[in-house]
Every structure is written in C-alpha cells, then in structure tokens.
Structure 1
C-alpha cells in the first residue's frame, strides 16, 4: 500500500468526483478510487524523510 500523487497520474487529464470518491480520466473514462489495485514502480526513495515516490504504470506496465 502507498500513495500516488494525482500529479503523477499518467496519460490523461483527471477530475475528482467527490460524490463517488474517485478520479475519472476526462479523455479515457478510466475510473480509479481509493483501494483500487494499480501497478506502480518506486521512482525515488528519501531515507532521511522515510518517504517513497511512486509512478503509476499505465496498463500494468512492467514492474521492476
């Protein structure tokens, strides 16, 4: 489990639907909500802050 910031969401413009508590891609219609599984990759680690930065891999991508 982890946090993927909206700014790193790929390939679309995203709008948050407060009523359904999910993000929806304006072009693709893709919907992603809290708890939905996605494939991510760790792109940065800050040991001093104990923080990880993730990237959402489109269509599952290739996890490394």
Structure 2
C-alpha cells in the first residue's frame, strides 16, 4: 500500500493523543493496540523514506556552572 504524509501525520497525532482510531480524508481506521499503530508507523516511515531513528532516543541535557 502506498502511504501518504497526511496518513503518517494523522497516525502520529493519534498515537500522541492516546487514540486508537485515525481519520484522514474520508476514511477511518481503528487499530487494536498502540503496538499495532507503532508497527504501521514504522512501515510508513520506511515506505516514505522518513528517518525517524535520527530523532528517536535523543535526550536534552542541561549543564550547570555549579553556582
């Protein structure tokens, strides 16, 4: 299946919002679990050529001058 960036964004927003149903255009998809959604998200990233691993796992570190 050919995924679109709109479908990818809608799925990301649903995951972030804790929802299992995703609507885009005139379609609606209800997933069984967040794990299933993440699996489809990775498939979309692969097909769309999105390198999400580059941003995953990054941590913001703060440094103090010790005052």
TM-score scaled by structure 1? 0.28
Larger helix fraction of residues = 2
TM-score, with structure 2 as normaliser = 0.28
Larger Rg: 2
